[in-house]
Amino acid sequence: RKPIDIEGACLYEFKDGLVSRHDVVYDGLELARQIKALPRSERMAVLMQRLMVKLPGGG
């Protein structure tokens, strides 16, 4: 197994001195790439170019 390394942030909103909202924000695309659910961006560019050639009117 390989560790996953992503950056993120926790955002808190307070109301009357209490936490009224808590959001977690992170780069979901980077997470998907690290767990191999999506290819790396360089590979993605090649796949998109191939797809464009196959589409009607794509060249």
Strand partners, 26: 8
Residue 1: CB partners within 8 Å, gap ≥ 6?
none
23 domain-assigned: yes
Q: Would 32 be classed as within a structural domain? A: yes
Tokens 């794509």 map to which residue? Answer: 58
Q: Would residue 24 count as lying in a domain? A: yes
Residue 22 lies in a domain: yes
Q: Note whether residue 47 is domain-resident.
A: yes
- 12 is written with which tokens? 């808190």
Q: Which domain holds residue 44?
A: 8-54
Domain contains 2: no
Per-residue pLDDT of the chain (59 residues; tens, 9 = 90+): 889 999 999 999 999 999 999 999 998 888 888 888 877 766 777 777 777 777 776 55
**Total domain count, the chain:** 1
